[in-house]
């Protein structure tokens, strides 16, 4: 085997070993899944597809999120590398949030799910009504 092929195989094996395994109970990637798929995580990521937003703008657009939950959600998404937090050096303090390239990739995929739910909500509501009636 050539040296280049050996190196590529070693890199592939290393990347496979580092890959998350969501079906394994103790896998730390489950925390990321929780952050991304939480109600507020999905909404924040999709809102940020429009560009940079201040905390108050995110809170207003996400409708119904408390300051505490939004702060926790943003901290988790920043920690996971999906969102950038930029604190302007001004008084009063001004903080803005935007997507990282990885966050944009994720948010674009979530936007498809959000669109599907919105488009299919009448069908979902009908199914719920039938389940309640049964």
Answer yes or no: is pLDDT of 50 > 50. Answer: yes
**DSSP strand pairing (94-99 vs 53-54):** antiparallel
Class of domain 39-133: mainly alpha
- Please name the residue that has the structure tokens 């959600």: 73
Work out the pLDDT band at 11, boundaries 50, 70, 90: very low
Segment among 11-15, 23-27, 71-75 with least mean pLDDT? 11-15
Answer yes or no: is pLDDT of 22 > 90. Answer: no
How do residues 65-91 score in pLDDT, each as one tens digit? 999 999 999 999 999 999 999 999 999
Residue 86 and residue 132: Cα distance in Å, rounded? 47
Residue ranges covered by each domain of the chain = 39-133
> Tokens standing for 27?
């896998």
**DSSP strand pairing (83-88 vs 94-99):** antiparallel
Structural contact between residues 78 and 99, judged by C-beta atoms closer than 8 angstroms:
no
């Amino acid at each position: 085997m050539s040296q280049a092929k050996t190196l590529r195989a070693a890199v592939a094996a290393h990347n496979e070993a580092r890959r998350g395994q969501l079906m394994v109970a103790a896998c730390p990637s489950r925390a990321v899944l929780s952050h991304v798929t939480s109600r507020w995580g999905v909404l924040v990521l999709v809102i940020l597809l429009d560009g940079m937003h201040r905390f108050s703008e995110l809170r207003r657009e996400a409708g119904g999120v408390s300051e505490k939950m939004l702060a926790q959600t943003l901290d988790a998404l920043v920690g996971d590398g999906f969102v950038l937090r930029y604190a302007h050096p001004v008084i009063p303090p001004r903080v803005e949030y935007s997507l990282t390239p990885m966050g944009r990739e994720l948010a674009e995929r979530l936007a498809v799910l959000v669109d599907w739910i919105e488009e299919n909500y009448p069908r979902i509501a009908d199914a719920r009504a039938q389940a309640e009636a049964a």
